[in-house]
Amino acid sequence: MRIKDYEDKKREIKSHFKEYLKLKGRAVDGKMLQCPDSSAHEHGDNDPSASFFPDDDHYFCHRCSSGGDLFQYVSLYEGKPLEGEGFIRDNFIYLADMFNVKYEHEEMSAEEKENIEIGKAYEKAIEILKRGITNDKAKSYLKTRGWEEIAGDFELGYCAYDKFVAMIEKDFQKNILIKGKLYHKELFDDRLIIPIRDAWGRAVGFASRTFDQKPKYVNSRTSQLYDKSATLFNLNRVSEQWVYVVEGYADVFTMHKVGIKNAVGMGGCILQAKQYETLVRKKIRKAVLCPHSDMAGRDGVWKTISRIGQSSEVAIFIKEIDNGTKDPDEYINKEGKERFLALPEVTVFEWMILRYKEAVGEQKERHYNQLIESAVSEQNLITRERMADRMAEIFNIRREAVIKEIDRLERIKSGRYNITVAEVVGEEGELSHAIDVFEEKAWNRTGIRTGYGFGYNIMDDKLDGLQNCLYLIAGRAGYGKTGIALNLAYNILKENDNVACLIFSVDDNMWKILPRLISIESGLPIAYGVNPKFKIEGLSVSEDRKKQIYERRQKAVEKIRELSSRFFIRDANYGRTIEKLERLIQVAKAATDKNLVVFADNFHKIGFEKEFSERRDRYSQMSEEMKRIVNVYNVPMIVVAELKKHNTARPSPDDIKESIDISYDADVLILMHNQVKYDEENNRYSTQEGLYHLTDDGIKLPILEAHIPKTKTSDFSGTIFFRFYPYNSRVEECTVDEVNAARKALMKIT
């Protein structure tokens, strides 16, 4: 969004500084005025500490040193943004309209125009949905929850999906409704609808809830306007400089109902980094986390602490509910507002001490390390001294010993090698601890397989799951090796909530990988992922069918987005060396608390920062480095490699291009092959002497042969088979009948 004669208009707006102060009731005494950053002053700066300086269009506070022009003042006083589109929309235009400063928009980009239209569509949707709140089912539900009086405050709504779509399509083009994710039956059909506004009041999305007792919420899919990880529900209505941070919408509604107006909802168990940044931008000084009383709520607090620590910008406190209730909504309805307000609010450090007191065994040791780490990280020396006093009391050791340990670990942490506190504290008894952990895992396995799920039952069965070792997938160009690797990465993520994946791709860049992932999830052709606007719109099918395809593609995009916090994709733009790969592994492990799985494509194109006189030496060293990385970081690494191009027979380990060492170093070797070739002249796949499967339309497509001559994870040796769909990169397990047919065909061929 751009403004014509922007700088001239800014100067004109700034000249209205004193008028603004008068309109807002801010004290002005000659050259003195109230500081906008009232939280920095013990009594809100009722006796003005700021003065106009160096002219009447600027101010400077002599007590807290804040200063600037009218825009900075409004940012501090009202929480308006100072940069980006938010500045133009919520600060510049807000003030221009206030003082009747005429302005003109310059030509906007297509995306800017779309965003404006999407915003209008959201406002229209809210208007439509609000009219439906008089529905008997909706009214009965609101009465049951005690939310009748607050329905208007939160613009709650209701509508049947078909009716909602018919009404909103009268005012907006379908492409705007698609971009705004308003074709979303699961969200809008026969539910209580909750409009979501960003921190500055702009409608950005919706949430909805079923009317039965199942706590089933659905949120808008991520769009150009809505980012759930950056949004805090109800923050736009908060007028104070501190908030209660709760998990869900029901908690916010019930707290609002009893007069607690400064509650905001995370939409989950964890306060995300972007949500924290939003609190900072809104000038919130204190946030009280009110987690649910289950294990997920407590884990969410730990993860929040790990993400934002003991913040100085926003002071974090924790208020835990008790008396067997699940969440603030249930607690307030059962015990009342005053009992809720009386629950203690503890600092992050005191909360960690409470967890330490409760813990036993290995968990107690971990909490001890976390407490020490928090003291080492504390910058305020007075606060650190108090923390040391408290730890001496809790650990029953001399205060001097605690201080000495904190100082020692701080020196180590800030030293040349950047050794972490956890490394030092955890060094003693490492082997004994490892034996304990190993024995506990060995005797408490809940399943047959040893490793994580591959996402393919046949691989879990034959290879005993995905384990922390080196896997080599080798094949000739175009034979499906990269396809199965990408499917493996995606399926591993979907099957294992405790796993994150790093893809280091030298062959394909991000913009080639993303459409393939969309196609793998949706089953649609890759072209629909790359160029949906023209490829889908150009289909000779009904508008309803096009809409279904759009929704199918969009659901795939949202599924991938859901996994994005556990999915790290880095292409050659980040570097092509093994040193860069190792650094990316370090970064990925630091960025997530999940178990990391690494994919490297392609072995023969990854280099070193140093040069080798012989290519063979480089590949041998690369093989050793990959094996070392697997062992040092205790991760599974799946490496894709090339086979010699001139040989068309089924491959053997000797065919691995220019380096046999990697086949020896690999713990599991998978040789990919298929003999179904694409006939460009006749636009079809040739099946001469090949194994194939039939689509529903009777089209013959390749079956991938995955020959496994070597594995150290199980006693299997043989071939497993997969259906391959080249047009969308999807790889699926063969049925039992297909496997039997493939084995018979393979016997005839070989």
Looking up residue 18, the CATH number of its domain turns out to be 3.90.580.10
The verdict on residue 699 lying in a domain is no
Q: What is the residue whose two structure tokens read 């009218």?
A: 70
Does residue 512 sit in the same domain as residue 656?
yes
Does residue 507 sit in the same domain as residue 612?
yes
CA distance 750 to 744: 10
What integer pLDDT is reported at residue 623 of this predicted model? 86
pTM of the full structure: 0.53
Does residue 520 sit in the same domain as residue 659?
yes
Does residue 288 sit in the same domain as residue 247?
yes
Looking up residue 472, the CATH number of its domain turns out to be 3.40.50.300
Looking up residue 306, the CATH number of its domain turns out to be 3.40.1360.10
Does residue 567 sit in the same domain as residue 577?
yes
Strands 718-725 and 700-711: antiparallel
Q: What is the residue whose two structure tokens read 């529900």?
A: 233
For residue 93, the enclosing domain spans 6-98
DSSP symbol at 416: T
Of 199, 225, 251, the residue that ends a domain is 225
CA distance 694 to 111: 42
- The 3-state secondary structure of 681-731, one letter per residue: CCCEEECCCCCEEECCCCCEEEEEEEEEEEECCCCCCEEEEEEEECCCCEE
Copy the structure tokens of residue 603. 């072995």
The verdict on residue 429 lying in a domain is no
* Nearest CA-CA partner of 46 in 68, 28, 65: 28
What integer pLDDT is reported at residue 444 of this predicted model? 64
Of 98, 123, 148, the residue that ends a domain is 98
What integer pLDDT is reported at residue 180 of this predicted model? 92
The verdict on residue 746 lying in a domain is no
CA distance 617 to 661: 10
Does residue 491 sit in the same domain as residue 606?
yes
Does residue 543 sit in the same domain as residue 642?
yes
Q: Tell me the Ramachandran region of residue 13: left when phi exceeds 0, alpha when psi lies from -120 to 50, beta otherwise.
A: alpha
Estimate the share of the chain in helix, then strand, then coil, as percent rounded to the nearest 5: 50, 15, 35
Does residue 615 sit in the same domain as residue 470?
yes
Question: In this structure, how many other beta carbons lie within 10 angstroms of the beta carbon of residue 671?
Answer: 27
Does residue 276 sit in the same domain as residue 140?
no
The verdict on residue 299 lying in a domain is yes
Does residue 354 sit in the same domain as residue 298?
no
The verdict on residue 702 lying in a domain is no
Question: In this structure, how many other beta carbons lie within 10 angstroms of the beta carbon of residue 307?
Answer: 13
Of 98, 121, 144, the residue that ends a domain is 98
Does residue 477 sit in the same domain as residue 516?
yes
Walking along the chain (750 residues) 10 residues at a time, the average pLDDT comes out as 84 93 88 84 82 88 84 87 79 92 81 87 95 92 93 94 94 92 92 93 92 78 88 91 93 95 92 89 89 87 78 84 85 93 91 86 78 80 86 85 80 55 51 62 61 88 90 82 89 91 87 88 87 84 88 90 88 83 84 88 82 67 88 90 69 69 83 69 54 79 88 89 87 87 74
Does residue 339 sit in the same domain as residue 232?
yes
The verdict on residue 297 lying in a domain is yes
Contact 220, 184 (CB under 8 A): yes
Give, in degrees to the nearest 5, the angle at Cα 208 between 207 and 209: 140
The verdict on residue 680 lying in a domain is no
- How many domains, the chain? 5
Copy the structure tokens of residue 283. 């000038």
The verdict on residue 714 lying in a domain is no
Looking up residue 125, the CATH number of its domain turns out to be 3.90.980.10
What integer pLDDT is reported at residue 246 of this predicted model? 96
